Amino acid sequence: MRQTSSYRMVRNYQKQPGSCYGNYSAKNLQKALEDVKAKRLTVSAASRTYNVPRTTLQDKMQRIHSKSSGGQTVFSALEEESFKQNLPTLASYGFPLTTFDLRLITKSYVPQFCNKAALSIYVY
């Protein structure tokens, strides 16, 4: 017999009062990093002064977690814009592309040094 859990997924998550995760501005983070780099403040002092978590400052100073959150892009913004601009041109010349065609073209465009295993999931 399968037992059901009394826990349920929350449909509309609300942040807990008193939680300080991500509770600082980018401006304060930047000021704190500048003061630490210029050696005007220690990491701990900058953390207290600008209300930014100490570990966040340490990670930024050591360049840990420097990538943006979420999946990382394969193409640069310029390359993606190029694809976006050229699709209507191809369609006007009589070569409309399906999403599968676009995936095949972009996969053939990727340089050889990219991770092929990661790209294979997008094509099939």
What is d(CA 86, CA 106) in angstroms, rounded to the nearest whole number?
Answer: 13
Domains and CATH numbers, the chain: 26-61 (1.10.10), 77-123 (no CATH)
| pTM, rounded to two decimals | 0.46
Closest CA relative to residue 122, chosen from 110, 85, 112: 110
Per residue in 24-80, pLDDT (tens digit) is: 888 999 999 999 999 999 999 999 999 999 999 999 888 877 676 677 777 778 878
